A and B are shown apart, each in its own frame.
Chain A
Amino acid sequence: LFPGVRQAQWLTKTKLVEGLPPAVQGIVDNPALGLQELEERAKHAVSHARLWDTAQVAPRREQYCPVLFENLIHICRLMSGKYPSLSKRMLARNCRIAATWERESILLQVRGLSGILMNSMTPIPPVASKEEVLATKEHVLETFYPIAPTIDLQEVNVYKELNDTGQCFGDGYPYSHPHTLFFLESANVRTNRFRPEQLRAKMLMFAFGNALAKAKALHGDDPKVLEQPVVVQSIGTDGQLFQFMVFQLNTTDLVSNDGVKNLVWIDSDQNLYEKAQCVPEVKKRVVTKPAGISGFQPDTFKKFLALYLHGTV
């Protein structure tokens, strides 16, 4: 799936914007949040996941990737002491997602386990202003002639066009708005893991699927331009590299190639730390690399936290 994100863009009629949206960037830069003290805790979280968690010498990726994620989420959740509305969130693991749409007479469907989903009671406010949304009309989706855009997609006979957020939140489920999706690439063998580009494409497809299902649940099945765009965030990691994404669904009219497009902001390949040395490296009786985490980047954690807090701050 070589032009992964570009293909996903065409399939979901989305315009790509590099970097995080200004609303999220504002949270990152906001000094009132006290993100400095959290750096120490984030460093401990990384050390715990990568170095201290196991009775053996070094944990494998299958172990440290989920542990790192849990530790970071734990730190983020503890912020609900300061922002009580954060307790209106619920994590759901192993949720299944299914969404269908038509794209220039090709029926597409997204199905599968979408990792870990965080739901909240209140939706995220739209990130892009109305002008920006209208401006996407001018944007032309790039096509990959002569490669058909549905290359590498599995063709399947679909008997039931399913559209639900997979959880089938029965009526009255209070946490009905998908907030953030988390993808953990934790396979030990490198070939079983997604490459960063493919991971971003996967994140985009699933975020789109969740947003579409939610939009259809809210506004019905007719394709139209949404008055209230639906925003879904997505974070993917393999334990060291983080990909951040904010997706805004502006329209469910996906059949035609023109008109208002959806928007996605992607911040890719953010390293949380450079190297985690479990045992000090010793060359000729001299310690060249001491044990510990080197090259810790607090900004990546700040972005993680900002995406978590987005919508309530």
Chain B
Amino acid sequence: MAALGARRLLRPGQRWFSETVPGVPSPPASPLYPPLAASITAKSKAAKSRRLQRFNQRVHAAATVEEKLRLYGKLQRPKYMVYPQTFALNADRWYRSFTKTVLVPGMPPRAAAAKSPVAATGTTPEAGRAPEPGAQALGAAEVPQAAKTLEPAAGAAPYLDMGELRSLACDALLQESFYQNKKRPFLYRDQDHTPGPFLTQLVSTLAAFLSSRNPLLAASSLDLNPEVNYYWHHGEEVVVHGHRKGRVDPVRFQIDDNPHLQIRVPKQLPEVVPLESDLGDVPVIDHKPSKLPLFKKQYENKVFIGSKVADPCCYGHTQFHLLPDKLKRERFIRERLEDQIEVVYRSNGIASLFAWTAAQAMYQGFWSEADVTRPFVSQAVVTDGKYFAFFCYQLNTLALTAETIKNNPRKNICWGTDSKPLYDVVEDGSVKGFNDEVLLQLVRFLLNRPKEL
């Protein structure tokens, strides 16, 4: 009651303690104390977010890209190892959900339209262009091994000579499988014996042959058996056991990939579709990633495209992957899992290309808090020596962590084809059933270049 009495004595608007005159606004005083910020070391959510902000600022303020990468991967915690070449069932759905990728079957439309037309066999050359059928046809006809029908390759200079390309491919194939005396393949190492060297020969000779048409190839760098690594966070989980039990942690992933062959170029490939396009849905998977199966390990968080940051060829052009013996088609057919054959190719394409493009983006200074301002495009060919599948990947966003993904409408896009055979069989020094489509697609991939060139 004393309090009631005291309150009645106060007029509304009057302060209890101070002596300010009511009605006069107080002069705007500079704050006497700094703004209230959460503690840095307390065990509270506000403190955690403040620590995260400080970390983000540190990475933003890093002077060089190497420093940024070092800070980004400084904290080592157990993370899921994502293997691009995996036998897990339906792995490509899981990988798409981890990397926020949309899979569009078939090849991007730009690739079909803008290429210089390839001379179809038998078409008459346009008037006004001096055809050189004589020399080309003789050159193509003299090659005895390829069991193609001896069509004269009617080609003028801008046209691609299919006969020549076919003979190059067949020569590489025959050398590796037929002509060279090799010992028997090592146990379970069939892929190193014939398809591996064939792929190396094929790509190197084709790249050299096409370098006159594609100046980007002429400045490219070819890596044999390089290493590609990428580390990222996606989603959140609660730590299950250990001294950190109960805390909410981001789910960490790491891809360590070894493509068979890789071409890196100094200029970026052009974008296929605009940055904000939406071509489909990303699959949502409710289970924990370890159900795939995927296992955790703690080791160095590497981000690497194949060479260090100082290399001028810092953008990727095409990767070539060779499927190991463990994932060969006969094994899947034997275990009655025919539909998983394509899954193997797709998961390899998506995971490897995501790792490569994202690492390229990080080399340019982008990361999950500083999202990419231009799309990064790369291509890949996944093969087991006979069957080829082609993939084209456009990275639109790196922001996959739990906070940054909330307001991020962008999705990464991957175009992919099914696997098609390049040839039927090699016997008696000739290649039977050579498939020109596959070679053509490979050539189109190699000829891909920015519009200015």
Contacts and interface: CB of A to CB of B under 8 A. Distances in A.
A71 B307 CA distance: 13
A91 B175 CA distance: 10
B393 interface: no
Given A55-B227, A90-B172, A92-B175, A174 B209 contact: no
Contact of B310 (A51, A54, A67, A166): A51
Given A92-B180, A93-B197, A87 B205 contact: yes
Given A66-B224, A71-B222, A174-B171, 5 more contacts: A44-B313, A91-B201, A92-B180, A168-B181, A173-B179
B171 A71 contact: no
B211 A78 contact: yes
15 contacts: A44-B312, A52-B308, A74-B204, A74-B221, A80-B208, A81-B218, A87-B208, A93-B197, A94-B182, A167-B179, A167-B181, A168-B179, A168-B181, A174-B143, A175-B171
Contacts of B168: 87
A168 B181 CA distance: 6
B308 A51 contact: yes
B179 A170 contact: yes
Interface residues on A, range: 35 or more
A144 to B, nearest CB: 36
A82 B436 CA distance: 26
A125 B404 CA distance: 66
Interface string A75-108: 0011011100011001111111000000000000
Contacts of B227: 54-55
Nearest to B168: A87
A52 B308 CA distance: 5
Contacts of B172: 90
A80 B210 CA distance: 9
A132 interface: no
Interface of A: 41, 44-45, 47-48, 51-55, 66-67, 70-71, 74, 77-78, 80-82, 86-87, 90-96, 166-170, 172-175
Contacts of B223: 53, 67
Nearest to A292: B310
Q: Which of B180, B197, B207 has the most chain A CB within a 10 Å cutoff?
A: B180
Contacts of B229: 55
B307 A74 contact: no
Given A51-B308, A86-B208, A172-B145, A74 B222 contact: yes
Interface in B278-319: 302, 304, 307-308, 310-313
Interface of B: 143-145, 164, 168, 171-172, 175, 178-182, 197, 201, 204-205, 207-209, 211-212, 217-219, 221-224, 226-227, 229, 302, 304, 307-308, 310-313, 429
B218 A170 contact: no
Given A48-B311, A90-B172, A172 B208 contact: no
A302 B182 CA distance: 34
A119 B355 CA distance: 37
B175 A175 contact: yes
A130 to B, nearest CB: 31
Q: Which of A67, A81, A167 has the most chain B CB within a 10 Å cutoff?
A: A81
Contacts of A51: 308, 310
B211 A48 contact: no
A172 B223 CA distance: 32
A80 B144 contact: no
A169 B179 contact: yes
B307 A52 contact: yes
Q: Which of A48, A67, A77, A91 has the most chain B CB within a 10 Å cutoff?
A: A48
Contacts of A54: 227
A55 B204 CA distance: 24
Contacts of B209: 80, 87
A175 B222 CA distance: 24
A81 B180 contact: no
